[in-house]
Amino acid sequence: MTAQAFSAQTATAIAVSGLSAGYDGVQVLHDISFTLQKGEAVALLGRNGSGKSTLATALFGMEPQVSGQITIHGADVTGWASHRIARQGIALVPQGRGVFPDLTVEENLDMAALWSRKQPCRSWTRERVFDSFPRLAERRRFHSASLSGGERQLLAIARALLTQAQTIVLDEPSEGLSPRAIEEVIIGTVGQLKSEGYTLLIAEQNMTMALQLAERVLILDHGTLVHDGGSAAFLADEALQREHLGL
Ligand SMILES: Nc1ncnc2c1ncn2[C@@H]1O[C@H](COP(=O)(O)OP(=O)(O)OP(=O)(O)O)[C@@H](O)[C@H]1O
Ligand SMILES: [Mg+2]
């Protein structure tokens, strides 16, 4: 079953309006507004420290919010606890992978599957993960700490899928990976999810990689959303890239 097949109620996956957030009284995000329609793949670009991870985690209620509204799959989740937001069909693949290194591949997957056992539609099972990603099946009894970077990223993506989310936020999925792993794991796997109708928000420093997947680009600069437009127009605009990404 594809993502689109079980999320028919509203056309909007993520709607953020006037979002400001930060840490310990230091404001990092300033008045951010954007919308992702279901099935869109959107790149979130920005220099180091521009606020990509803060925005990604703020969507999950993990950062103190100063103001604004966040709607996920039609529900206003502003102020909700993270675990409740996750039940809205959105999952985060955190920067640095977010797998438990001391647990085996199988145990990592079981934890994610256990969490979603009460979801009405359980399209992803551990068996489907092993069928879809044979590399994880081969290493099912290995501790996650012993996996390659690409395999760990694959495991983190599989964990997100096992929550049965239809919208997946990936925070710097290519970080630390070889060009070959980026091609196989990120472009291959995430590209497949895109073709199946998943909604994807991909925070990246690797613009070339992100633009292979995304049809739209958001740019953060010092915590402000300075651009929201199609990938082709963005690629053609060298002045924009220079000003906000330093390219
Ligand atoms: N836990 C935290 N406590 C305090 N400040 C933080 C915290 N996390 C991030 N910051 C600050 O918030 C700002 C934005 O950081 P953030 O990690 O969101 O940027 P980023 O765009 O994801 O960067 P990178 O590309 O390096 O991952 C930075 O100034 C950073 O120092
Ligand atoms: Mg980051």
What residues make up the domain containing 150?
4-245
What does the DSSP assignment read for 101-132?
A: TTSBHHHHHHHHHHHTTT-S-----HHHHHHH
Binding site membership of 94 for ligand 1 (Cβ less than 6 Å): no
Mutate to test the pocket of ligand 1, among 47, 52, 57, 95 (most ligand atoms within 8 A of CB): 52
106 CB burial (10 A radius; 0-12, 13-18, 19+)? middle
| CATH at residue 166 | 3.40.50.300
**From the CB of 22, is ligand 1 less than 6 Å away?**
no
pLDDT tens digits, one per residue of 75-125: 999 999 998 999 899 999 999 877 888 899 999 999 988 877 766 667 899
* SS3 state of residue 26: strand
For the chain, give the percent of residues with pLDDT over 70.
95
Provide the pLDDT for residue 4.
43
Per residue in 184-241, pLDDT (tens digit) is: 999 999 999 999 999 999 999 999 999 999 999 999 999 999 999 999 999 999 999 9
Q: Which ligand is nearest to the CA of 47?
A: 1
Q: Which ligand is in closest contact with the Cα of 55? A: 1
State the pLDDT confidence band at 6, using cuts at 50, 70 and 90: very low
Name the pLDDT band for 60 (thresholds 50, 70, 90).
Answer: very high
Q: What is the pTM of this model?
A: 0.94
Q: How many domains does the chain have?
A: 1
